[in-house]
Amino acid sequence: MPFILYLKREIGGSKEKTNHEIIACILKELGKGQSLIKHVTDRKGHDRRYSMDSSKITRELGWMPTVSFKKTIEWYR
């Protein structure tokens, strides 16, 4: 069905991580210390994590992640 290409789909890595885990990984890959992390006071609506469900695009189009998070960081360097 051609119309299926225009439906909304989330694309993620299928691996749940906390915000702290993500920034720690980025700093490690950049050769920086975790002392750069600055904690802030919690506020209403403060996100502790982000999670995307890629099952719809996998089910409908057979898409699977092929690039690791570390490779994504390298690409931005």
Confidence of residue 2 (pLDDT cuts 50, 70, 90): low
61 burial via Cβ count (<10 Å: 0-12, 13-18, 19+): exposed
The DSSP 8-state label assigned to residue 45 in this structure reads: T
Whole-prediction pTM value? Answer: 0.68
Dump pLDDT digits (tens) for 11-69.
877 778 888 888 999 999 999 999 999 888 877 777 766 777 888 888 888 988 888 88
pLDDT exceeds cutoff 60 at 1: no
The H helix count followed by the E strand count for the chain is 3, 2
